[in-house]
Chains A and B, each alone.
Chain A
Amino acid sequence: MTAASPPIHRETWIEQVKKNLFRNWWSGLITVVLLPTTGYLAYRAFKFFFINGQWEAVQVNLTLFMQGTFARDEQWRLIAQILIFGLAFGVGLGTASGAAHDRADDAGLVFKRSSLADTLKRMWSLVAFIALLLFFASTDETGNLINPYLVVAGGLGLSFVGYQAFRLPRRLRNLGWLLTMVLLVLGFQVVSGFDAESWVPLSLILGSAAYASVPTEMFDTAATRQAVKVLAALGAVAVVFAIYRVVDAPGIGWDEWSGLHLTLMTSAIAIVLAFPLGLLLALARRSTLPALRLMATTYIEVIRGVPLITLLFMGQFILGFMVPAGTDLSDITRAIAAMTLFTAAYVAEIVRGGLQSLPSGQTEAGQALGLAPPTIMRRIVLPQALRAVIPAMVGQFISLFKDSSLLFIIGITEFLRVRTLVHAQAAFRGVAIAETLVFVAIGYWAFAFAMSRESQRLERRLRVSR
């Protein structure tokens, strides 16, 4: 005697509508009120976007929105930067994917690789924004230097090529990270040029990247490995120095950047600079030394208690007086300094959260092994704590990206302020105000939304991997 399986009830669409929209009388009432309202708003939005909107203000000035007052005959630098960053993005993603695969292998789990197409689908808002840009660019009659379609296709193609880094054998995994680092720096330098002093930060970055990521598995003793690492770091510094000696290619420093390019770059630069500072502050605030703790706490709480704009004013009006007479700091340098000092306090709180979330057993285990406190911090605590705070750091980056619009107020021509230039043109004086604003809003939204999605995904994955 077999038990009859329960009847499977497939809901018809009428039942679904009834369940989701007219479950009870007040739900039905809300639907009846909201449905026409939404429809009307959608109709108005459609009319604005496709019929009434005067989008010429954006179309004609598309290049202005993207690169602002950046010299037009130097545009190839930006295009090269897009291409190199595309490659770096691909290599980084491929290496991360490969590393995840390695971990899954270690744990004996099945690994499902997410394809590049999946990544693009996840970032649909960005894809849509780029499609919008291409649509506007195709009807642009001012004649761009290089067909934007080629740039986008090149960037995508290069990131696909870079993504193949996941095929690298496991022992070369670190090389993928090194390559990503080098590409990021190179992409930055292709615009800012190989200036006289910039070899110092560059060799620091590349030297430490080389130290951390040179493959050493083939050497037996710890001493040899250490020697190889030091040699790699010195080699990287030497290579950088040599390049700077040979190549004297002045570029365009950030003082002359503007538009969306400036918005993206200032937020990236500020968060990169703020990270080490924030890490130090977090460690100081967690320290058992009262003097350090007091200083770090004061700094963090004061900075978090004031709006960013006051710090930007500080940078604008006072920072110039705080350096010896004759030192000339540009507006953008001062703004980046203010954004860095501001973000460092928030990064410190995020890192502190990560440090606190780590069970004390980790530190105790290190102590039981007889490790020195700095080694425990560097080898046991920080790797886990920093991994846990990645989503929050992405969130902080989104916040900084949105806050970079405040440069508008201190008169720097970032993405939002390009509008001022547009509406100063005779053709657009006092017209198409909403159109340019909506375009700028879509631009900010596309980046912030894509990043927030990515941060949510990282959070889910980290929670699962716990």
Chain B
Amino acid sequence: MTTPQTTEQARPPFWRDIRVIRVAGQIGAVVVVFLILNWLISNLINNMNRLNISTSFDYLFGPTNFQIPYDPQFNPRSPVWEMTLVGVKNTFLAGFFGIILASIVGLIVGIARLSENWLVARLATVYVEFFRNIPPLVLIIFFGFAVFTFGPFPILSESWEVKAPGSDDNLLLINNDRWGVPGVTQDGSVAIFWAILAVGIVAAVLVWRWRTRNFDRTGQPHHRVLWVLGVLIIAFLIGFFASGQPFDMSWPALSENRRQVVGGFEVNWGFLSITIALGLYTASHIGEIIRGSILAVHGGQSEAANALALSAFQRYRFVVLPQAMRIAVPPTINQFLNLVKNTSLGTAVSFAELTALTKTSIGNGRPAFQSIVIMMGIYLAFSLIISLILNIVNRRLQLVSR
């Protein structure tokens, strides 16, 4: 019967009781943070009321009132939320093509840094050390102004025309403002085509499974990639002709007055400079990741491959790279995320991505607070989606390694 008494005695005074301290500490921290936030936000609301600035989000449905550069289809009277969507689309496009460029160049540079050829390794090192240590904004402005606007390219009306071999159509239309590249036009029956292609994709997945199972059972070479490509090409051809050739190539050309690009697909200088600059910049980081990952693969793996008399290509393709990729993928996805965030520098080359449009919109009298909160929310959503992908990839890679 003495036990409760002793615990009663051993109990420290309440200001040294760990349970009390924990609760009090948390309450204190929450209160401090709440007070600071409350102070900031009440100041904000007071000041905005005092200056008669709207605190509502109604402006999203009001007219945009300015023309988005290089987007003649956009009607300045359409609501602000449509402008925001255009910005998201352009951010996504720049990020997407930048990521493709960065991955290709990064992979090449990363492997080249480990090349046995002295010249190749040296050039790759120079590339990495150069691009890694320059602010991306300087690169973007360099491409935007020193290369495209004031660079070696002619003005729009005197565009260089790169002809497709054996025809009069332009493959490329090069000038200092907007490049023309071949595009595709489509007509009404395109839905049938997509339906047939979808069936083809399902068939391709099934064929992939079948080849894999066949390989697991018999050990025969699976040739999965070839099979799947074959199925997809056949589906494409069937769809194309069954739906009455819904697509037509459209080639870029100068208009009659030589002030516009007609046909094809138009790529403006802002997009070009931001994609190339960020692609090359991020490639230097990805190259370092690839190199580190290849070096992190245990040397015994290469030796084992040599002992099995695999060729240099086979050694890389089947032994080293699969293991290196497992290490490289998570940090590479982080670099992709950085690239998407860096597209926010597009405003320096008047590329109409989310940040640039938001900035113009604020300059046109739209409420700053709401616009910036929406912009940050969208970037946050981009980041969260990419982190989600990263987590899924991480989980899959871990499963493979077991």
Q: Which of A304, A405, A441 contacts B383 (CB under 8 A)?
A: A304
- Quick check: is A130 within 8 A (CB to CB) of the other chain? no
| A318 lies within 8 A of B369 (CB) | yes
Q: Are A291 and B359 in touch, CB under 8 angstroms?
A: no
- Is B142 touching A321 in the complex (CB atoms < 8 A)? no
Partner of B141, one of A284, A317, A403, A437: A437
Alpha-carbon distance A434/B146, docked complex (angstroms): 5
CA distance A324 to B27 in the complex (A): 27
- Please measure, in the bound complex, the distance between the C-alpha atom of A403 and the C-alpha atom of B344, giving whole angstroms: 12
In the complex, how many residues of chain B place their beta carbon closer than 8 angstroms to a beta carbon of chain A?
Answer: 58
- Cβ of A416 within 8 Å of any chain B Cβ, yes or no, is yes
- Which label, helix, strand, loop or mixed, suits the secondary structure of the A interface? helix
List, in ascending order, chain A residues with CB within 8 A of B347's CB. 309, 409
Check A433–B26 contact: CB distance below 8 A: no
Q: Tell me if A437 and B138 are in contact (CB < 8 A).
A: yes
Q: Taking CB as reference atom, which chain A residue is nearest B151?
A: A434
**Once the chains are docked, how many angstroms separate the CA of A304 from the CA of B344?**
14
Q: A406-B345, A416-B141 are in contact. Are A452 and B26 (CB under 8 A)?
A: no
CB < 8 Å neighbour of A408 from B22, B44, B348, B382? B348
CB contact list, B119-136 vs A, under 8 A: 119-120, 123, 129-130, 132-136
A222 contacts B by Cβ under 8 Å: no
Which residues on B sit within 8 Å (CB–CB) of A239? Answer: none
Is B43 on the interface with A (CB-CB < 8 A)?
Answer: yes
Q: Which of B78-86, B169-177, B243-251, B373-381 lies at the interface with chain A?
A: B373-381
| Contact partner, B44, options A35, A38, A322, Cβ 8 Å | A322
Within the complex, the shortest CB–CB distance from B76 to chain A, in Å, comes to 23
Residues on A with C-beta less than 8 A from B150 are 430, 433-434
B46 on the A face (CB < 8 A): yes
Q: Is the CB of B380 within 8 A of A292?
A: no
The answer to the question of B30 belonging to the interface, with a C-beta cut-off of 8 Å to chain A, is yes
* Structural contact, B26 and A441, CB atoms closer than 8 A: no
Q: Is the CB of B137 within 8 A of A20?
A: no
Q: Is the CB of B146 within 8 A of A289?
A: no
Interface string of A138-166 (1 = CB under 8 A from B): 00000000000000000000000000000
CB distance from B50 to the nearest CB of A (A): 6
Asked if B383 contacts A437 (CB within 8 A), the reply is: no
Interchain CA distance A304-B43 in the complex, whole Å: 26
Neighbouring B residues of A284 by C-beta, 8 Å: 29
A30-B117 contact in complex given A310-B379, A445-B134, C-beta closer than 8 Å? yes
Binary interface encoding of chain B residues 338-360 relative to chain A, with 1 for a CB under 8 A from any of its CBs, else 0: 00011011011000000100110
B389 located at the interface, meaning its Cβ lies under 8 Å from any Cβ of chain A in the complex: no
Q: How far is B372's CA from A438's CA once the two chains are assembled, in angstroms?
A: 33
Q: How far is the CA of A362 from the CA of B372 in the complex (A)?
A: 45
Q: Decide if A295 touches B29 in the complex (CB within 8 Å).
A: yes
A249 to B295, CA, bound (A): 57
Interface residues of B in 1-53 (CB under 8 A from A): 22, 25-27, 29-30, 33, 40-41, 43-44, 46-48, 50
Q: When chains A and B are docked, how far (Å) is the Cα of A304 from the Cα of B132?
A: 20
Residue B241 lies at the interface, judged by CB distance under 8 Å to chain A: no
- Residues of B72-128 at the interface with A, using a CB-CB cut-off of 8 Å, are 115-120, 123
B321 adjacent to chain A (CB < 8 Å): no
User: What chain B residues lie within 8 Å of A313 (beta carbons)?
Assistant: 355, 358-359, 362, 368, 372, 375
Q: Which residues of B contact A321 (CB under 8 A)?
A: 43-44, 47-48, 369
Give A18 Cβ to nearest chain B Cβ, in Å: 11
Is B145 interfacial (CB 8 A cutoff)? yes
Q: Do B118 and A441 have beta carbons less than 8 Å apart? A: no
- Chain A residues near B132 (CB-CB < 8 A): 448, 452
Contact A302 B137 (CB under 8 A): no
B47 contact set on A, CB distance < 8 A: 321-322, 325
The verdict on A444 contacting chain B, using a C-beta distance below 8 Å, is yes
Cα A424 to Cα B119 in complex, Å, equals 42
Contact A408 B380 (CB under 8 A): no
Query: In the complex, which residues of chain A have a beta carbon less than 8 angstroms from the beta carbon of B384?
Result: 305
**What is the CA–CA distance of A292 and B32 in the complex, to the nearest angstrom?**
11
CB atoms of B142 and A441 under 8 A apart: yes
Using Cβ atoms and an 8 Å threshold, which residues of chain B touch A405?
135, 137-138
A1-60 CB contacts (< 8 Å) to partner B = 20-21, 23, 27, 30-31, 34-35, 38
Q: B29, A449: Cβ atoms under 8 Å?
A: no
B145 and A433 contact, CB distance less than 8 A: yes
With a 10 A CB-CB cut-off, give which of A307, A405, A445 has the most chain B CB atoms: A307
B43 contacts A323, C-beta separation under 8 Å: yes
Q: Of A295, A305, A441, which contacts B138 at CB under 8 A?
A: A441
The answer, yes or no, to whether A306 is at the interface (CB within 8 Å) is: yes
Chain A contact residues (Cβ within 8 angstroms of B): what range? 35 or more
A250 contact set on B, CB distance < 8 A: none
- Residues of chain A within 8 A (CB-CB) of B362 are 313, 317
- Asked if A20 and B141 sit within 8 Å, CB to CB, the answer is no
The reply to whether B138 and A35 contact each other, CB–CB distance below 8 Å, is: no
**What's the Cα separation between A409 and B376 when bound, in Å?**
17
Known interface pairs A295-B33, A402-B134, A445-B133. Does A310 touch B119 (Cβ–Cβ under 8 Å)? no
User: A299 to chain B: closest CB distance in Å?
Assistant: 9
Q: Are B146 and A318 in contact (CB under 8 A)?
A: no
Residue of chain B at shortest CB distance from A299: B33
Most buried by B among A35, A310, A323, A430: A310
Q: Which residues of B contact A30 (CB under 8 A)?
A: 117, 119-120
B340 to A, closest residue via Cβ: A307
- Complex contact B134–A307 (CB within 8 A): no
Name the distance in Å between A65's Cβ and chain B's nearest Cβ: 13
A276 CB-CB contact with B under 8 Å: no
**A325 & B123 in contact (Cβ 8 Å cutoff):** no
- A406–B137 touching, CB < 8 Å: yes
- Name which residue of chain B comes closest to A440, CB basis: B138
Q: Which of A294-317 contact B (CB under 8 A)?
A: 295, 302, 304-307, 309-310, 313-314, 317
B119 proximity list for chain A (CB < 8 A): 20-21, 30-31, 34-35, 38
Residues of chain B within 8 A (CB-CB) of A310 are: 344, 355, 372, 375-376, 379
28 pairs, A vs B, C-beta closer than 8 Å: A21-B117, A21-B119, A31-B119, A38-B119, A288-B22, A291-B27, A292-B29, A295-B33, A305-B382, A306-B380, A307-B379, A309-B347, A310-B376, A313-B362, A313-B368, A317-B369, A318-B368, A321-B44, A322-B44, A325-B43, A398-B133, A409-B345, A416-B141, A434-B151, A437-B146, A441-B138, A445-B133, A452-B133
Chain B residues in the interface with A (C-beta under 8 A): 22, 25-27, 29-30, 33, 40-41, 43-44, 46-48, 50, 115-120, 123, 129-130, 132-139, 141-142, 145-146, 150-151, 341-342, 344-345, 347-348, 355, 358-359, 362, 368-369, 372, 375-376, 379-380, 382-384
Question: Which 3 interchain pairs have the tightest Cβ spacing?
Answer: A305-B383, A317-B368, A448-B133
Q: 10 more A-B contacts (CB under 8 A) besides A306-B380, A313-B372?
A: A27-B116, A306-B341, A307-B379, A318-B368, A322-B43, A409-B347, A416-B137, A437-B138, A441-B139, A445-B133
